[in-house]
Amino acid sequence: MQTSPAVPRQAAESSTPDSTEGAAPSGRQGRRFGLPTATALVMGNIIGGGIFMLPAAVAPYGTVSLLSFAVLTVGAIALALVFGKLARRNPRTGGPYVYAREAFGDFAGFLSAWSYWITTWVSNAALAVAAVGYLDVLLPIQHSTWLTIAAALTVQWLPALANLAGTRYVGAVQLVSTVLKFIPLALVAIGGLGFFDPANLGPFDASGHGWLGGMTAAAAILLFSYLGVESAAMSAGEVRDPQRNVGRASVLGTAGAAVVYLLGTLAVFGTVAHDRLVHSTAPFSDAVNAMFGGSWGGTAIAVAALVSMAGALNGWTLLAAQAPYAAAQDGLFPAVFATKRRGVPVFGVLISVALASLLTVLNFASGAKGAFDILVLVTTFTATVPYLLSTAAQLYWLVRGEQGKVAPGRLARDAALGLGAFGFSLWLVAGAGYAAVYQGVLFLFAGILVYVWMAGRKA
């Protein structure tokens, strides 16, 4: 087992050292997440705003897309179980970064942290832009560029302020927003079954390319619906009893999100006619209107989407600070990223939300939508790099059979889980597409300059 380098002096003075990360933070505002809050963090980060368009996105492939959901759920839960096992052995904040570095050294750990950090702040900018679209349904603001920018920045900075107030408030916002987003989704998912009409389902294979080809094509769209399964592992240092609760929260949150996805999609399929659903721009709104009549579905779903995105922004803002925080403790990111206040890496939150805000302003004010779209595409690849490295780390310890890394008598089961999770992660990379992989690799390798600078200074 590799030994961790000494924590930089500046980081040690302003944050919780590795040796004491398992201890409870001092102060009421720095208290730790229990199992319900950790589960809400996972579920809230997985379910963002994309769920409200998913049924229409996969409708062209027919009901075979429901089979894709089932297969993907198995892979996502395997990945969640692997994160739980890795966190049981090393319950530090930073999750995938920590596991990659422990198994493969500083460079692999840095690539994991760098890749994840890019994913988080670019995704936050994308969430804010999408949230403004839903806000425009309630308050027409997109006629003014500056009103649109102000709304997008407000959507980003309010969750950032909750984060800066401490983990106590992060957890409270996450728990409340997850419950609030779950209520309307459950209304459609469960209530829609009472209005279910099999005649609306359409063909099993609507693509005409065979059910296997249709399932694969639908899976390529659905693959990224499960990004966020690592949320509890990434914040393991802020979770109470992380050896037990990180794994439980990862599985419960992933399973909960899968149930909402599957039942919600099934309900929309059964309440909105297939030929109409294929061209729908608001499938959940159409389902609500079909169930209860009237035309208020759009407003109701816009409110639900805003709540969902606010919760996702709250959780992803915390995660945007966790990977650089862990890397900074080991001297692989600037030491200022290791500064913690009330259990939250404050500089990581500030710099991440500032970068996301800058990208948002450029998107709206300077017509740089093309560059923004490229960055969003990049995240479809960068998000999967930490998954591949983490599952590879699990397989590495299984192959070595090192004492304390592998539970005796469970080699076959753990190997099956590790291989399944690795295959799922590889499938995510394949689903990203050639352009995303090409551009993502460029962004990933651009971070080598940062690594050279930090590693050289540390040496």
List pLDDT tens digits, range 46-103: 887 677 778 888 888 888 888 888 888 898 899 999 998 888 888 888 889 999 999 9
Phi–psi pair at 283, nearest 5 degrees: -60, -40
Q: What is the DSSP letter of 239?
A: B
Are 228 and 234 spatial neighbours (Cβ–Cβ below 8 Å)? no
Are 318 and 32 spatial neighbours (Cβ–Cβ below 8 Å)? no
Are 88 and 247 spatial neighbours (Cβ–Cβ below 8 Å)? yes
129 in any annotated domain: yes
What's the rounded Cα separation, in Å, for the pair 127 and 139? 18
25 in any annotated domain: no
Evaluated on CA atoms 265, 271, 275, 278, the torsion sign reads: negative
20 in any annotated domain: no
Range of the domain at 191: 33-458
pLDDT band at 400 (very low <50, low <70, confident <90, very high): confident
Check pLDDT > 60 for residue 355.
Answer: yes
444 in any annotated domain: yes
Are 371 and 443 spatial neighbours (Cβ–Cβ below 8 Å)? no
Are 225 and 424 spatial neighbours (Cβ–Cβ below 8 Å)? no
Check pLDDT > 70 for residue 369.
Answer: no
Residue 33, helix vs strand vs coil:
strand
Residues 219-257 pLDDT 10s? 877 877 888 888 888 888 888 888 888 888 999 999 988
388 in any annotated domain: yes
Residues 22-44 pLDDT 10s? 444 444 445 677 888 888 888 88
What's the pLDDT score for residue 440?
A: 87
Phi–psi pair at 239, nearest 5 degrees: -100, 135
Token digits for 385?
Answer: 């790099």
User: What's 377's domain CATH number?
Assistant: 1.20.1740.10
436 in any annotated domain: yes
Counting Cα atoms < 13 Å in the Cβ hemisphere of 2 gives: 16
Q: Structural domain tally of the chain?
A: 1
| Residue that wins the pLDDT comparison between 170 and 384 | 384
What's the pLDDT score for residue 309?
A: 84
State the DSSP H helix or E strand holding residue 344, giving kind and residue range, or none if neither.
Answer: strand 344-345
27 in any annotated domain: no
pLDDT band at 16 (very low <50, low <70, confident <90, very high): very low
What's the rounded Cα separation, in Å, for the pair 163 and 340? 11
- Percent of the chain exceeding pLDDT 70 equals 87
Q: Give this prediction's pTM.
A: 0.81
- Give residue 59's Cα distance to chain centre: 24
10 in any annotated domain: no
pLDDT band at 6 (very low <50, low <70, confident <90, very high): very low
